[in-house]
Amino acid sequence: MGLPPSTWSDGKPMTEGWVRFDQYDDVLASTDLLALVAPSLREQPSSWKWMIIAAHNGLQGALVCAIRDTSGTNVLKERSAKAKLTWLANPAGTPPHERLDDFIPLLKKYRKKYPCCGTIQQLRQIHKLHSEFRNNFVHFVPKGWSIELAMLPAIIRTGLDLIEAAMQQHQVAIHLDEGMQRRLQQNLTVAREHLPFLGSL
């Protein structure tokens, strides 16, 4: 008798030789990283890089999950959406390559669909997370960069709140089983517990 298959924390078996993701798994993977990195923030300040990238990636994925329509085209760039809709009307040959819309347009679409979505201050924090921090880390050019730590906990906390809100929307929640919901909440709780209260914007 062979060894039992490896399993994820939510009890799902891992398929040998493959790692499988969908849009919901992508968000959960980002929150896994948040929970893993957050406890090291005080001793290892460079861990903030991964908190920023994971929070942004998780947030973008959560926005996509919460606004995606049945065709899947409303989360794409305009030209990509038109090409996909044309192909769906006559699905012959290879489907066109899909290009996800940019972060800020996705955020605007989310706010249009779910109008009660954060304060002006929180929206400024999300814009700062995207434009100033995430983009600079992902496209890092040779430079010296000092970041004021006092602003980071509030920005990340706002990102976590929006991830949670987006993943609780009905069209998302129906796709999350108990294990996935538990994993999400545990990850967000751990990340929040280890965010130092250094101030806010």
Instruction: Name the pTM for this structure.
Output: 0.87
Based on the structure, what is the number of domains in the chain? 1
In a domain, residue 61? The reply is yes
Q: What whole-number distance in Å separates Cα of residue 57 and Cα of residue 65?
A: 12
Q: Let me know if residue 58 belongs to a domain.
A: yes
Residue carrying the six token digits 């496209």? 139
Quick one: pLDDT at residue 82? 95
**Domain presence at residue 83:** no
The answer to whether residue 78 sits within a structural domain is no
Classify residue 64: in a domain, yes or no: yes
Tell me phi and psi for residue 49, to 5 degrees.
Answer: -55, -45
Beta bridge partners of 114: none
The residue range of the domain holding 58 is 23-68+120-193
Question: In this predicted model, what pLDDT tens digit does every residue of 122-147 receive, in sequence order?
Answer: 999 999 999 999 998 888 888 888 88
Q: Which residues of the chain have pLDDT under 70?
A: 1-15, 197-201
Does residue 166 fall inside a structural domain? yes
CB atoms within 10 A of CB 33: 18
User: Are 172 and 65 in contact, with CB atoms under 8 Å apart?
Assistant: yes
Residue at 188 is within a domain: yes
Output the pLDDT for position 11.
58
Q: Tell me whether residue 128 is in a domain.
A: yes
Q: What is the pLDDT at residue 13?
A: 61
